[in-house]
Amino acid sequence: MSRLVPYRSKAPDAVKTRIEETLATTMYLVQTTGPTSYVIQEQNSDRKHKVLIGSLQTCVRLRVSV
């Protein structure tokens, strides 16, 4: 079985910075849409993000109508 994306020995600095910012943020699980699919929301924000975990991990911003 081959990988969709090759391994990296080191994460780029931009990715490291983004990880640090994310770890300092409070997020809530809003909805579980499947066994590997979730909707999360940052504290004090209307923005929601759909997270898909699989062979290729993705996260997309959802449009929210209030």
Residues in the chain: 66
Find the mean pLDDT for residues 42-55: 89
Structural domain boundaries in the chain: 28-66
Task: Encode pLDDT of 23-44 as tens digits.
Answer: 999 999 999 988 989 999 999 9
CA distance 14 to 5: 18
Bridge partners, 9 (sequence order): none
**Predicted pLDDT of residue 4:** 81
